[in-house]
Amino acid sequence: MSVTITRRVALMTPFLAMTGLLGSHVLAKDSDKGIAARLKKLEKRSGGRLGVAVLNTATGQLAGNRLDERFAMCSTFKALAVAFTLSRVDRGQEQLDRRIFFKEGDLVTPFKATKPHLADGMTIEQLCEAALIVSDSTAANLLLASFGGPAALTDYLRSLGDPVTRLDRIELDLNIVKPGEIHDTTSPRAMVATLQKIILGDALSPPSRTKLTNWMIASTDAAAQRLRVGLPNGWRIANKPGTWNGISTNDIGVIFPPGRDPIVVAAYLGAAPGSIKDQEAILAEVARIVAEEI
């Protein structure tokens, strides 16, 4: 598993080098109102609660729907957990080659990458890959344990200037968030600001930033069915989805349009009727709106 993942990631490096050379692209039209209006219509069509933030990094314009409302993060938190792990590596507080051993009782679904390593354990780097590329929840829990748990991750987010996003529990409990509860939640506005800092800003060293971005670009399964599927050919996205039992269907990421500056998106869909495919189609439409309006 880790060998396959690493090969896939290695193929992304030239792409990231290219995007680092991109110049500024000025917004061709005043799209913030268009995006907001179209998202509101899309929410009505979904039958659920749709929270979206879209940040055009070329202009600093932010648009969206329910920007400051709270939504359950579900597995989108894994991007933040990996970022914190990499920041600790940058500061000499962690080593990517440190091996973590675990037992069968530690496994929580999905454990596609971790279960084959019950005998030999996995390195911190392998756990980061597994948490992002195949959304392995056991790997995410092991990373949380490596740096002090959910509260430590929340403290890291506060240090980045994020006053909203919080993690209170581990997998799988963190996915269960009832209406009005704030534990294990974020807002679309807060998430795009944090994503910008960890993927495009200086919160991480350039090598760590490249690793994080590559792993998210290489993500599989649900990551390919949401924002990514709604983008035009040639547009790339480093994204991390999150899902819980038909109640929450989410996706966050940084979009890299060819020859233009990145666009940061956070999309959270809650309490929508229909199948998971129906819900994923709503998130794909979010990406189409972004591509058409920016």
How far apart CA 63 and CA 200 sit, in angstroms, is 19
The residue type of 58 is A
Distance CA 107, CA 95 (A): 23
Residues 223 and 217: their CA atoms lie apart, in Å, by 9
User: Looking at the DSSP assignment, which residues form a beta bridge with residue 71?
Assistant: 186
Q: Which residues pair with 54 in a beta bridge?
A: 63, 265
Candidate list 31, 46, 75, 146, residue with the active-site label: 75
**Known catalytic membership, residue 135:** no
Q: State yes or no: cis peptide before 110, omega within 30 of 0.
A: yes
Structure tokens at 243: 């899902």
Sorted by sequence, the CB contacts under 8 Å of residue 17 that are 6+ apart come out as none
Chain centroid to CA 245? 18
Residue 153 makes CB contacts below 8 A (sequence gap 6+) with 77, 80, 81, 84, 144, 147, 167
Give the catalytic positions in this structure.
75
